[in-house]
Amino acid sequence: MARKYFGTDGIRGKVGEGMMTADKVLKLGWAVGKVLAGRDENGNGRLVVIGKDTRISGYMFESALEAGLSAAGVDVRLLGPMPTPGIAYLTRTLRASAGIVISASHNPFYDNGLKFFSAQGAKLGDDLENRIEAMFEAPMETVDSSELGKAERVTDAHGRYIEACKASIAMGIRFNGMRIILDCANGATYHIAPSVFTELGASVTVIGAEPDGLNINANCGSTHPERLSQAVLTQGADLGIAFDGDGDRVMMVDEKGEIVDGDELLYIIACGRQHDKQPVNGVVGTLMTNLGMELAIKEMGLEFTRTNVGDRYVLEAMQQNNWLLGGESSGHIICLDRTTTGDGIVSALQVLAYLSQSGKSLHEAKSGMQKMPQHMINVPLNGNGDPMQSPEVQSAVADAEQTLNGHGRVLLRPSGTEPLIRVMVEGDDLELVHKLSQQIAETVQNAA
C-alpha cells in the first residue's frame, strides 16, 4: 500500500504547512500512541520517548506530541535536544515502546519533521507506517481522565548517550595529542560531541555550537564543510569533524584541508575492522557510492553490494546479508556492531580509533581508496512522461557505457523529492565524464 504521509525517512516539510502543523502533529502523536504503544495485558501504560534538534519549532511540536500521546494513554519521557542516534539508543535502554525524533536533519530551520524508532531502536517498516497513517485518519478519541499519560523530563539523557558513544571503541584507546576541530552545525550534537572527544583525550576546538533556533545547518556542518576545512588549515589541526543538524551524518576534513566524504570514511572503518581482526564479510553502499570505493572494498577481499539511495535500504541489505557495515556518500554510516542506526559521533570515533592504532593520518588512511571522477546533472521534468523510457535516452546511455568500456558507469534516477531526473556519469577520465554526462542530460531534457 502506498504511503500517504511518510517519506523515505519519516515525515518532513515546511513548518506550518502540510503535516507539519501543531494540530496534525498532535493527532499524529495520538495515532503513534495507539499503534506503537497502547497498554499491555495487565493494563499498564507503555512509554514513548521524545527528542529533538535545535530548531525553534521543536518546542511547538514537542508539546503537540506530548499532548497527543497523553490523550492516547501513553506516558512520555522528554529528552530535550539530542542527536537522532542518541534517541534510538535511549529508546532501547529506557525500555520504551517507541522513540520519536523531531528533526528535519540537514534541512534549514524553517523545515521540520518526525522520525520514528521501534522499541529495538530501528526505523519503522512500511507496515507500521501504514498502520499509523490509517489510525491518523480515524476519529481521535481521548482516553478517560484516569488513564491519561504522564510526561517527565529525563535529566541525565546527555550523560547516558556520551558514555554509550565512548563505549563504541576499545577501552584502552585514547586520542591524546590529537588536535581536532568539531563543527556541530548549531544542531543536536553541540552539547554532546565536545564532551565525547575531550573525555577521550583529544584537544578539541568547537565551531557551530551556538544554536539559536534559527541557525541550524546555516553555512556549517556536514552539508557545508568548507568553513571547517579553512579552520583546520588556519589552526593547523590534525583533522576536522562535521555533523549535520540531527547528528546522524558525518563528514571529515584531513590535515591538508581536503574533505573526506562518507564513502571514504566507510572504507577507513572497514580497514579498521580488518586491522583489529574483527569480522567484515561485506559492505553495503548505494547507487551513488563512488566506484572507487567499490573497487577498494573488493581489493580488500570483501563483498560489496548497492541499494537504492536511503539509509533504510542500506540497513535492509545489511540485515539480509548479515553484514555489519554500510553507508552513503552523504556521511550516513551504519555500524551494526556498534549501533542500530546511522550515528555521526560513533562513526567518527571508529575512524579516529583506527588512526590512533595504525599511526596514520586521515589523509594517509583514505589514500588506499582512489575516488573516480563523478559528475551529476539535475534535469527538470517539464511534462508527465518518463524520459527514462525514451528510446533516444536509452540509446544515449548505451553509447556512453560503450565509450566508457568498463572503466565507469552511467546512472539515471528520478529524484525522490523534486521533479528531476538525476544524470550521473562516473569514470577514470574527468573530461570524458563531463562530456558524456552533458550529452545524456541534453537528451533527457529533449525527451522530458
Return the pLDDT at 386.
83
Phi, psi of 289, deg, nearest 5: -60, 135
Question: What architecture is the 11-155 domain classified under in CATH?
Answer: 3-Layer(aba) Sandwich (3.40)
Burial of 234 (0-12, 13-18, 19+ CB in 10 A): exposed
- In the structure grid, which three cell numbers stand for residue 234, read together? 588556519
- How far apart (Å, rounded) are the C-alpha atoms in residues 92 and 37? 14
Q: For 371-435, what is the HEC assignment?
A: CCCEEEEEEECCCCCCHHHCHHHHHHHHHHHHHHCCCEEEEEEECCCCCEEEEEEEECCHHHHHH
- How far apart (Å, rounded) are the C-alpha atoms in residues 342 and 243? 12
- In the structure grid, which three cell numbers stand for residue 203, read together? 584537544
- Among candidate residues 222, 249, 360, 373, the one with its CA nearest the CA of residue 311: 249
Return the pLDDT at 8.
72
Return the pLDDT at 37.
73
- In the structure grid, which three cell numbers stand for residue 270, read together? 572497514
Amino acid at 343: D
70, 97, 103, 105: which is the annotated catalytic residue?
Answer: 105
Going by C-beta distance under 8 Å and a sequence separation of 6 or more, which residues neighbour residue 165?
A: 192, 196, 343, 345, 346, 349
pLDDT values of the chain reduced to their tens digit, one per residue, 448 residues: 567 888 877 899 999 999 999 999 999 999 999 998 765 555 455 899 999 999 999 999 999 999 999 999 999 999 999 999 999 999 999 999 999 999 999 999 999 999 999 999 988 888 889 999 999 999 999 999 999 999 999 999 999 999 999 999 999 999 999 999 999 999 999 999 999 999 999 999 999 999 999 999 999 999 999 999 999 999 999 999 999 999 999 999 999 999 999 999 999 999 999 999 998 999 999 999 999 999 999 999 999 999 998 888 999 999 999 999 999 999 999 999 999 999 999 999 999 999 999 999 999 999 999 999 999 999 988 776 788 889 999 999 999 999 999 889 999 988 766 788 999 999 999 999 999 999 999 999 988 7
Same fold, 261-371 and 374-447: no
Domain at 176-259, CATH homologous superfamily = Alpha-D-Glucose-1,6-Bisphosphate, subunit A, domain 3 (3.40.120.10)
List the chain domain ranges: 11-155, 176-259, 261-371, 374-447
Return the pLDDT at 2.
60
Hunting for cell 524508532 — which residue is that? 117
DSSP 139: P
The CATH number corresponding to 261-371 among 3.40.120.10, 3.40.630.30, 3.40.50.620, 3.40.50.1110 equals 3.40.120.10
Bridge partner list, 332: none
- How far apart (Å, rounded) are the C-alpha atoms in residues 190 and 209? 5
Between the alpha carbon of residue 410 and those of residues 83, 284, 373, 398, 405, the distances in Å are 36, 19, 12, 9, 11
Sheet holding 374-380, edge to edge: 374-380, 420-427, 408-414
Return the pLDDT at 416.
66
Return the pLDDT at 360.
97
Q: Would you say 123 and 116 are in contact if contact means Cβ atoms under 8 Å apart?
A: yes
- Among candidate residues 306, 291, 304, the one with its CA nearest the CA of residue 370: 291
Return the pLDDT at 46.
85
The CATH number corresponding to 374-447 among 2.20.25.90, 3.40.630.30, 3.30.1330.40, 3.30.310.50 equals 3.30.310.50
Is-catalytic flag, 103?
no
Return the pLDDT at 219.
96
- How far apart (Å, rounded) are the C-alpha atoms in residues 380 and 448? 8
- How far apart (Å, rounded) are the C-alpha atoms in residues 284 and 178? 30
- How far apart (Å, rounded) are the C-alpha atoms in residues 291 and 426? 7
Neighbours of 300 (CB within 10 A): 17
